[in-house]
Amino acid sequence: MTVTEQPQSMTREGITIRSLSKIYDTADGGEVVALRNVDLQIRPGEFVSFLGPSGCGKSTLLHIIAGLLPQTTGTVDVFGTPAAPGRQDSAIMLQTPVLFPWRSVLDNILLPVEILGLDRSSATARAHELLELTHLTEFAQKNVWELSGGMRQRVSLARALVTDPALLLMDEPFSALDEFTRERLNIELARLHEELGRTTLFVTHNISEAVFLSDRVVCMRPRPGEVIDVIDIALPRPRSAEHLASAAAIENEGLVREAIAEYI
Amino acid sequence: MSTSTELQAPPTRKDTVTKARRPARRGPWAKAWPPILVIALFLLLWELACRAGLVNEIIVPPPSDVAVSLVSMLDKAYFWEATWVTMAETIAGFLIGVILAWAIGTALGMYDWAKTAFYPIVVGFQITPRVALAPLFLTWFGFGLTSKVVMAATICFFPVLLNVMVGMDTVDKNARTLMRSLGASRWEEYRKLVLPSSLPLIFAGIKNAITLALIGAIVAEFVGASRGMGVLIKSLNFQLDVAGGFAVIVALMIFGLILYWIVEYIDSKVVFWRSHT
């Protein structure tokens, strides 16, 4: 299955962030330091969560890595080239599913293929594989308003994966969903990560979600946005539902909570 | 007491669904008969008022006279000629107005500075009663069809323009972020996101425009023309054939409705997702 093939760029180095800062000018002439001196090295295939309260710059960081925002100082290298939008090897998933009601589920998934100018017939085959992986096989020709919130976010995930990106950026993708749907999607995401092995950067403010999914959790603080600690998660892989509330998971959550204790 | 309220309070899902579906099962006639009844009652009261001598038949003829006039007009060449002229003016003006509004609105909406710069003047024209321009158009473009087409186009231009511009502002921010992350060009972003996103509002403006175009054509004919339904109404009134005047107005209503239904049908096919957003 083409879905599980390793893309070329994965063999290259991962993501390197060096002395990255982002400063916003406010309307009254002041400055807001959204990010200060972020240094990170992310290995290919790694699942890294960015955790922190609102205003800690975790979303800003993800948008800079996606090439959607320019940094003020520092560098971001994605697989050896500077971060930029419109790359085939990186895809972003946002808080809302952003599906177009004038397109069928399948055509929504194929949107990146059209814009990046890739071969549609091979992408269609891949889209069908992704529909199968996300348990949406029978919904390919459905309208998006016929889907539940969780299903919509799964379509959004399939759309992000359709170009076979080596890097998957996820900006609080399940935060608008109810707790049950969120947990089910987290289990599915963990399984997909085991199967596909894509480098994944996951922004969240949910500690147990971060621990369950990640190899490492980058803990951040607000005003100014800074990395305060990077916690290695000692949970075995492959991860599945039983790791959600295991003793080891709870122990790791404790470590994370300790790191960000003063910002809770 | 509390037990009985608890038992009654939450209506089951099944109940709600059955109730909601009931009118649909009886077919379209279930929905059609109340308006038919109201129209029939209205015509009946009107007829009775005339027959009883409550109103002067020269001023307000009974509906039966209007119907007779209308039927007799249907095989008159002058009636169909007038209809053809007015419909041609309306449709030509509508198409020109809508296409220009779409093109100019899109161009203005693409750039924030253009939007800011032109928005007040657009709103200004939108508020001005554009029929006031009809005498001016008559002097500029003459007695022929042109001045009527220009009037119809002008009157439907601004509401569509405004909706095109506002529609471009209603595009979901996250959707724009997604398109930018894919490296979409301005044109791709317009074609694949902005245009379809704003279609519901654009079509709301277009549905408005078709009725406005007909108003524009008729008013322009009143102001100065030699052919068309507006001219026909005026000359029948001068001849004190008030029933004939009413008959033309009824015909105008029917043709206006047909045009509106055509646009509404196109809208339901193009913006098929409207009721789901």
Sequence ranges of the domains in chain B = 2-51, 64-276
| Cβ within 8 Å, pair A68-B180 | yes
| Nearest-CB residue to A68 (from B181, B192, B196) | B181
Question: What residues of A are in contact with residue B196 (Cβ under 8 Å)?
Answer: 100, 102
Q: Is the pLDDT confidence value at B5 over 50?
A: no
Q: Do A92 and B174 touch (CB under 8 A)?
A: no
User: How many percent of chain B have pLDDT more than 90?
Assistant: 73
Is A7:A164 a contact under the CB 8 Å cutoff?
A: yes
B187 touches chain A (CB under 8 A): no
Per-residue model confidence as pLDDT tens digits over B159-177: 999 999 999 988 999 999 9
How sure is the predictor about B19, in pLDDT bands with cuts at 50, 70 and 90? very low
Chain B residue numbers with beta carbons less than 8 Å from the beta carbon of A143 are 273, 276
Q: In what order do the strands lie in the sheet with A167-171?
A: A90-93, A167-171, A199-204, A47-51, A216-221, A226-232
Asked if B272 is an interface residue toward chain A (Cβ–Cβ < 8 A), one would say: yes
- Residues of A numbered 145-174 whose beta carbons fall under 8 angstroms of chain B's beta carbons: which are they? 145
Beta bridge partners of A25: A31
pLDDT, one tens digit for every residue, chain A (264 residues):
444 444 444 445 899 999 999 999 888 888 889 999 999 999 999 999 999 988 899 999 999 999 999 999 999 999 989 999 999 999 999 999 999 999 999 999 999 999 999 999 999 999 999 999 888 999 999 999 999 999 999 999 999 999 999 999 999 999 888 999 899 999 999 999 998 899 999 999 999 999 999 999 999 999 889 999 999 998 988 898 888 889 999 999 999 999 888 887
Residue of chain A whose Cα is closest to the Cα of B269: A102
Chain B interface includes A95 (CB < 8 A) = yes
Better-scored residue on pLDDT, B7 or B245: B245
**Section B207-224 average pLDDT:** 95
* pLDDT for the residue B271: 93
**Whole-number pLDDT of residue B26:** 65
Q: What is the predicted pLDDT for the residue at B7?
A: 44
Q: How confident is the model at residue B21 (pLDDT cuts 50, 70, 90)?
A: very low
* pLDDT surpassing 80 at residue B262: yes
| β-pair type (A90-93, A31-42) | unpaired
Segment B120-161, tens digit of pLDDT: 998 898 888 999 999 999 999 999 999 999 999 999 999 999
* Strand positions, DSSP E, chain A: 15-25, 31-42, 47-51, 73-78, 81-82, 90-93, 167-171, 199-204, 216-221, 226-232
Instruction: Give the pLDDT confidence score for residue B11 in this predicted structure.
Output: 44
Token readout for B207 is: 């549905």
* Cβ proximity of B155 and B218 under 8 Å: no
Mean pLDDT, all residues of chain B: 88
Q: What is the ipTM of this complex?
A: 0.89
Residue A138 neighbours by CB under 8 Å, 6+ apart? none
Residue for token pair 């293929």: A113
Q: How far is A248 from chain B (nearest CA, A)?
A: 37
Question: Does the CB of A115 have a partner CB in chain B at under 8 Å?
Answer: yes
Percent of chain B with pLDDT over 70: 90
pLDDT computed for residue B30 by the predictor? 81
Determine the pLDDT at residue A29. 85
B262 reaches A (C-beta below 8 A): no
Q: How far is CA A208 from CA A193, A232, A254, in A?
A: 17, 14, 10
Q: For the stretch B86-105, what's the b/e string if a residue is b when 16 or more beta carbons lie within 10 angstroms of its beta carbon?
A: bbebbbbbbbbbbebbbebb
pLDDT value for B156: 93
CATH C-level class of B64-276: mainly alpha
